[in-house]
Amino acid sequence: MNTSIEINGLKVFANHGVLAQERTVGNAFEVSLRLDYDFAEAAAADDVSLTVDYAEVAEVVKQCMTVPCNLLETAAWNIRSAVVGRWPLIKGGRITVLKLHPPFSVPVSSVGVTVEW
């Protein structure tokens, strides 16, 4: 059996980017996660202490995004490292980090990266 939790569209403001202006002014970001782990025991016991708590994951993501990075790849990797370090029962997942207003001369809705393991 495959089981996972998801958090979709977590909105944060952060200072990631290669350009000096991005590091100073900041930008809006959106983070989505799917975390794969066996939550059968937690489901059977109906006990949040036996599972990965969505609210705690959101706080970990928020904290990771406060550390400025040049690359979205680094931001995504830092989130992955933090959630796996906090919840070793996570065996796989997918994390997407989107920059919602990239400094481009052409209109785009977002740019982003995904790490899946």
Percentage of residues in the chain with pLDDT exceeding 70? 100
Confidence of residue 60 (pLDDT cuts 50, 70, 90): very high
Distance CA 99, CA 30 (A): 7
Distance CA 3, CA 35 (A): 9
pLDDT at 29 over 90: yes
pTM for this one?
Answer: 0.94
5 is written with which tokens? 């939790």
Structural domain total, the chain: 1
Task: Give the DSSP letter of residue 66.
Answer: T
pLDDT at 27 over 90: yes
CATH code of 89's domain: 3.30.1130.10
Q: Which domain holds residue 68?
A: 4-116
Min mean pLDDT across 15-24, 78-87, 89-98 is at 15-24
pLDDT at 15 over 90: yes
With beta carbons less than 8 A apart as the criterion, state whether 11 and 30 touch.
Answer: yes
Distance CA 70, CA 80 (A): 17
Q: If you compute the radius of gyration of the chain from its CA atoms, what whole number of angstroms results?
A: 15
